């Protein structure tokens, strides 16, 4: 059991890193890697799990997706916009037609997936933020 915690910690850090890289490379999904990171860190390092879940940029989004499988309209717009900006740039630069078609297919599938997620409405967003604040206070004894 002693060796399991460090393995989960290392996996959590790797998944977080892949999610971070996914913010800039449209072929790598950000949120699934960060969800895996949170799950691994929860089992491997309480300190890093707390850092991730209370992080001002990432924590609330991970919590909202994990609990409600929902994201805000703004998050959808930014995610789809940056996805397609990166894909279009990649298609423009890459010379191989098969790779261009593959990237366009992935981008289309991710767009459909993101569009199919429940959209948090302003009232839902307020409730989700309150729920997130309760989670942080209960789980870590901190205020958001």
pLDDT tens string, the chain, 144 residues long: the values are 578 899 999 999 999 999 999 888 767 778 788 889 999 999 999 899 999 998 888 888 888 888 777 888 888 888 888 888 888 988 999 899 999 999 899 889 989 988 998 888 777 767 777 888 888 888 788 776
**pTM exceeds 0.75 for this model:** no
Cα–Cα nearest to 15, from 64, 43, 2, 102: 43
The pLDDT value given to residue 125: 67
The pLDDT value given to residue 58: 84
The pLDDT value given to residue 25: 78
Radius of gyration of the chain (CA): 17
The pLDDT value given to residue 141: 80
């Amino acid at each position: 059991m002693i060796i399991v915690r460090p393995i989960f910690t290392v996996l959590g850090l790797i998944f977080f890193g892949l999610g971070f890289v996914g913010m800039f490379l449209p072929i790598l999904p950000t949120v699934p890697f960060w969800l895996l990171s949170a799950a691994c860190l929860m089992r491997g390092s309480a300190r890093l799990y707390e850092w991730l879940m209370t992080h001002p940029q990432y924590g609330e989004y991970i919590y909202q997706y994990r609990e409600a499988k929902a994201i805000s309209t703004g998050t959808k717009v930014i995610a789809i916009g940056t996805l397609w900006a990166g894909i279009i740039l990649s298609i423009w630069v890459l010379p191989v037609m098969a790779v261009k078609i593959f990237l366009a297919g992935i981008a289309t599938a991710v767009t459909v997936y993101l569009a199919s997620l429940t959209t948090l409405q302003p009232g839902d967003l307020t409730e989700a933020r309150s729920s997130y604040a309760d989670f942080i206070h209960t789980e870590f004894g901190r205020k958001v």
